[in-house]
Chain A
Amino acid sequence: MRSSPDRSGTARRHWRELAERACTDEAPFAAAALYPYAAPRERAGLEARMFGERRDRLLLASAPFVAPAVLARLAALDDGGAVQLRLARNPATSAAALGALWRADASPRLRQLIARHARTPRAVLGQIAAAAGEIETLRALCENGGVAAEVLATVSERRIGVLQRLLAVNIATAEDTLLALWAEADDEAVRAQILLHPHCPDVLLATVPASLLERRCLARQQRAPRALLAELANDRDAAVRRAAAENPGTPLAALVANCFDADATVRHAVAARRDLPPALAGCLVDDADARVRRALARNPACPPELLVRPATDADAEVRRAAARHPHCPHELLDRLSRDEVTWVQAAVAYRDELPYAVLRRLARSSDVDVLAGVARHPATAPSRLARLAIHDCPDVRRAVILNPRTPRMVLRLLRQDGYALHRAMAVDHPRFADTDRWRMRDDPDVQVRFRVFQHFARRDAMPAAHEASVHVTQLSHYQPHPPKEHMETT
């Protein structure tokens, strides 16, 4: 939290007005938006608005978009069970706040939530791992996505059978812990998870196991030896063959037979490989199963010259997949833009690089999916965007906001949109001006007001140099301007 933000005259006036509004706002979120950037003397008023009513404290405690500083202050209030439970479940709650909750006289439910929270301090998780008696708390810890390997090793040393599989699943479990689990485990489900784990010891990946479950997991292990994966690609079980076919480590030579596999899901896995050679693509282009043809048509590894067949496929989803292929030739796109199924046309409309004539034709469509694609297209003309910005269908209007090239004048139309989510999205658009955002400070929707307040609080707390770098970063996110011949100019 900044001790005393240095604001310019206008910024000071803005801040004063926002702070006054936040303190009388019907909801506590406007005050929460300002709080992390407020000077100490201003915080008392904001805290009074945020924490004065229990109802508001409950709302804030479960809001994942609220700044960690607000949640930390709330955690320090010692506000009883319901607020604490919500804080412990909130993914935005900071490590310090979770540590404070843990030091309190925690209920079993609160201990479980803290054990599961990805931001819980390592020291707290270490205490839980070493001493917690409730199996549900230990289970929650094993399911924690942010836990350290040493903590999981401590749990493993307690040798609790029902936790073995969860330990083998957790991505942080270290190699030596997995080896110890392997030695203890007499359950194939646990061994299978160990074989699948990214830290699986090499020594366990040397032979093909007898158990089906273990073979299925080994076939998905990217570090498995190529020879072993080649053997699994010819396994008698279709799920094992499919897993091997999906595995980038499986040598391509081993996949030739999979192209003609009796099981369509195996052929589908081959068709979707990013390293598919043209010869194998040729084997699959006329596959009997439409899902296989669709996966191939969408695969960037499928040679563009092969797309002629998917582009004329009887199945509309296959044609749509061809339209989404990153290297689909322009003449095919032209044909697909006239497809009898508008869902196929929409796939064309969603491509960034389109001949002007195709974009213009699609813009004349009345289908909302096609028009949404046109609305988010970087080359669509501002005048057309202005028309789409007042379209009856919210999906089309939303696409206009999602277009990073939508000019400010069009965005100003969307500032009046009846759908609050659209107004909230418009606040964050890089081409929206601060004068436009300022006019939205009394928007009737609470989430829009939160974003406006947060924007000005951040901006005014930001040193000038940092602000300049952010501006450069925002501009760098823009797509390069499309070539002139692809631009719609009217």
Chain B
Amino acid sequence: MKILVPIKQVATLDEDFEFREDGRDIDPDFLIHDLNEWDNYTLEEAMRLKEGPGGEGIEVVVATVGPESADEELRKCLAKGADRALRVWSDALEDADAIGVARVLAALARRESPDLIFAGVQATDHACGATGMALAGLLDLPHAAVVAALDYTPGSNSATVRRELEGGSYASVRIDCPAVLTLQLGINTPRYASLRGIKQAAQRPIEVLDAEALGVTADALGAAGSASRVRRMYVPEKGRAQMIEGTPAEQAARLAQIIKEFGGAA
């Protein structure tokens, strides 16, 4: 049995940053990279099944679509116990959106034929929340989003999942396998990698694949295979809000004046 865990190297920002010259992204000098928070939970869920009853034959494969720097995140997963790591990259993928990434992951999934795919609900940087479900759509597999609990016996043809819904309610759903699940934070308690695991992971191979070699055609690769394109990234100009200066009495008087101006008071 095989579980595929797609992961993402995400970027975080400090308080100050600058945009790239083309204005379509942040200057990479200002980005600090890390493993997407949700992916700690998806990997842990896969490891939980592998280490649980009947999980002896489970192979956990982590995969990402990203440049060489993403190897660091794959190694973190290997250090925690993943069996194999795959990275897919082509320069054309630079402009891929969530759908474009899902196309590549779908090609990879067809090659790997996993029994389950665990993706995070969303990524902390772009927060599209689309890759996992787009992957399910492209593979035409049963799927469940925002899964807060999973009940699955390795080798079984179905799983029962608890989906998180609006207003604090849940839905219990039985789903046929193979399936794609996007897992929510808190579904388990992610482990820390042991120091020994980290050192061993540094020596383990990461299989690097070319998107074209997986059968992704040029018209489905990167920007061509994406449903959206970032035209401009910017910080909105100030002006919609302003600080009211003065003593508390002056501030209150000005606030009352503004409320009257905008019809909030008689």
- The chain A residues found within 8 Å of chain B, CB to CB, are 53-55, 58, 62, 82, 85-86, 89, 135, 161-162, 164-165, 187, 189-190, 394, 415-419, 423, 443-444
Contact check, B195 vs A417: say whether CB atoms are below 8 A apart.
yes
- Additional pairs, 10, CB under 8 Å, beyond known A58-B30, A187-B249, A416-B195: A82-B17, A82-B30, A189-B249, A416-B194, A417-B195, A418-B194, A418-B198, A419-B192, A444-B195, A444-B199
Q: When chains A and B are docked, how far (Å) is the Cα of A55 from the Cα of B250?
A: 45
Q: Are B195 and A423 in contact (CB under 8 A)?
A: yes
Query: What is the bound-complex CA distance between A62 and B197, given in angstroms?
Result: 31
Of all chain A residues, which has the CB nearest B31? A55
Q: Quick one: given A416-B195, A418-B195, A444-B198, are A135 and B245 in contact (CB under 8 Å)?
A: yes
Closest to B196 in A: A416
A162, B194: Cβ atoms closer than 8 Å: no
| Inter-chain contact total with CB atoms closer than 8 Å | 52
Which residue from A54, A55, A86, A189 sits with its C-beta under 8 Å from B248? A189
Interface check B233, CB cutoff 8 A:
no
B29 on the A face (CB < 8 A): yes
Q: Which residues on B sit within 8 Å (CB–CB) of A162?
A: 245-247
- Say whether B18 faces chain A, with CB atoms less than 8 Å apart: yes
Which listed residue (A86, A190, A416, A419) contacts B16, Cβ 8 A? A86
Which B positions have Cβ atoms within 8 angstroms of A? 14-18, 28-30, 191-199, 202, 245-250
CA gap between A187 and B248 in the complex, in Å: 8
Q: Chain B residues with Cβ under 8 A from A62's Cβ?
A: 14
Interchain CA distance A89-B16 in the complex, whole Å = 11
In the complex, what residues of A have CB within 8 A of residue B246's CB? 161-162
Residue of B nearest to A423 (CB): B195
Contacts of B28 in A (CB 8 A): 55
Residues of chain A within 8 A (CB-CB) of B192 are: 394, 418-419
Q: How far is the CB of A190 from chain B (nearest CB, A)?
A: 7
Within the assembled complex, what's the spacing in Å between the Cα atoms of A190 and B191? 53
A-B contact list, 30 entries, CB within 8 Å: A54-B29, A58-B30, A62-B14, A82-B16, A82-B18, A82-B30, A85-B16, A86-B14, A89-B15, A135-B245, A161-B250, A162-B245, A164-B247, A187-B247, A187-B248, A189-B248, A189-B249, A190-B247, A415-B195, A416-B194, A416-B195, A417-B195, A418-B191, A418-B192, A418-B193, A418-B194, A418-B195, A419-B192, A423-B195, A444-B202
* Docked CA distance A416–B196 (Å): 7
